[in-house]
């Protein structure tokens, strides 16, 4: 009698869909979106993973000696582990969402995995920055390399580029995580300028499409980031995250092959415009962010990466890594494109792009790999 009661609480044989985020889903679906069989939560392969049958409150969260899909951390939707060609991987499950009243609340700015602590820059799984996109230059059919960006050519050709979503490593492929798209259109800001040494209006948009015509699929590794409201003004000192494939030090000979992430704080405009900082080079289209101890910073090759801040429970694209003097140099913090100044520009150009499903916002320069942010276009 006790055994039957326990089983009923932990399993629902009649659940054919999930509600909300699926946190309370107790159905028996056990395959990921590629139809691969999930690993049992008590598998020895999961001993060193954060979620397994041996974790605290496992039973309460629906985790046990089975391989049914669950969402114990209340992320985006139910998921499971499976043993793929590259080892144990986490992926969303093949379960439909139950029909419910349409909700206009945006689902952007959410991620399945958070970095609990970021100090001095560290390798970051793309699940922690799922809005990252990487630009590749198509050398010839079936051969690509990380691109040096669209600003490097006076008349960039969209057909010469490909975009990858869900990448943690520049030169390794993972068919279970990555999604590849072609570039259909490049929209550069009409008033971009680097005449003063600072980069003004350092922003562009890419319209992307897949060869099959399908839109991007939202997964653990691919999500949209929220755009801020045009009047959003975060307080000085706010902690935000930056990410990219840039150099680990200014003297490094090459760029990082792995996605890296760190934390910086917003610096007041008055301080950033001091003569010891950047003086008159800084205008209202830019802002500064850095580390009070000058130990971490964006560096050469990170240009175009996101500066993400949490606001109202969502991760918001507040700035774009743009330029700076050296890396982690005292009184020379990173300078970022102020996204709130370009919300109307983004809206206007998306409207002209005709039925745009997905757009990528970018800034980048000739000395760096291309970094982009996958933005939510339904709620701008």
- Please give the structure tokens belonging to residue 158: 């969209």
Closest CA to 257 of 372, 172, 170: 170
User: Alpha helix (H) ranges present in the chain?
Assistant: 2-10, 269-272, 343-352
Determine the Cα–Cα distance for residues 368 and 85; give it in Å rounded to an integer: 31
Mode of pairing for the β-strands spanning 161-165 and 143-146: unpaired
Q: Under DSSP, is residue 340 helix (H, G, I), strand (E, B) or coil?
A: helix
Q: Which residues are catalytic?
A: 153, 202, 303
Residues 6+ apart with CB under 8 A from 27: 11, 12, 13, 15, 16, 17, 18, 68, 69, 95
For the beta carbon of residue 162, count every other beta carbon within 10 angstroms: 18
- Please give the structure tokens belonging to residue 316: 């918001």
Contact 207, 185 (CB under 8 A): yes
CA distances 180 to 38, 134, 162, 296, Å, are 25, 10, 7, 31
Closest CA to 62 of 48, 49, 80, 46: 80
Contact 262, 122 (CB under 8 A): yes
Q: Is the torsion defined by CA of 226, 227, 229, 231 positive or negative?
A: positive
One-letter-per-residue 3-state SS of 346-372 = HHHHHHHCCCCCCEEEECCCCCCCEEE
């Amino acid at each position: 009698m006790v055994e039957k009661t326990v089983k009923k609480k932990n399993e629902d044989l009649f659940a054919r869909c999930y509600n909300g985020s699926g946190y309370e889903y107790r159905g028996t679906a056990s395959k990921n979106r590629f139809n691969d069989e999930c690993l049992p939560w008590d598998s020895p392969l999961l001993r060193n993973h954060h979620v397994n049958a041996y974790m605290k409150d496992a039973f309460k969260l629906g985790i046990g000696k089975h391989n049914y899909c669950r969402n114990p951390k209340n992320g985006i939707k139910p998921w499971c582990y499976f043993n793929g060609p590259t080892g144990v991987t986490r992926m969303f499950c093949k379960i439909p969402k139950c029909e419910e009243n349409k909700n206009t609340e945006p689902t952007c700015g959410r991620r399945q995995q958070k970095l609990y602590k970021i100090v001095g820059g560290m390798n970051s799984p793309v699940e922690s920055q799922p809005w990252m996109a990487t630009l590749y230059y198509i050398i010839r059919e079936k051969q690509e390399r990380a691109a040096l960006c669209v600003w490097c050519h006076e008349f960039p050709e969209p057909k010469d580029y490909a975009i990858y979503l869900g990448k943690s490593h520049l030169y390794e492929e993972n068919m279970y995580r990555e999604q590849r798209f072609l570039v259909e259109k490049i929209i550069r800001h009409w008033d971009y300028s680097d005449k003063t040494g600072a980069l003004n209006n350092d922003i562009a948009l890419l319209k992307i499409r897949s060869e099959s015509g399908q839109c991007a699929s939202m997964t653990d590794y691919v999500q949209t980031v929220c755009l801020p409201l045009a009047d959003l003004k975060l307080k000085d000192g706010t902690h935000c995250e930056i990410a990219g494939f840039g150099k680990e030090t200014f003297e490094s000979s090459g760029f990082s092959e792995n996605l890296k992430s760190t934390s910086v704080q917003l610096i007041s405009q008055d301080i950033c415009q001091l003569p010891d900082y950047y003086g008159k080079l800084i205008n209202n289209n830019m802002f500064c962010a850095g580390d009070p101890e000058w130990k971490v910073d964006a560096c050469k090759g990170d240009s175009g990466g996101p500066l993400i801040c949490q606001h109202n429970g969502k991760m918001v694209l507040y700035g774009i890594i743009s330029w700076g003097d050296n890396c982690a140099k005292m009184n020379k913090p990173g300078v970022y494109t102020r996204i709130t100044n370009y919300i109307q520009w983004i809206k206007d150009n998306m409207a002209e792009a005709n039925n745009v499903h997905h757009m990528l916002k970018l800034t980048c320069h000739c000395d760096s790999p291309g970094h982009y942010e996958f933005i939510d276009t339904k709620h701008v």
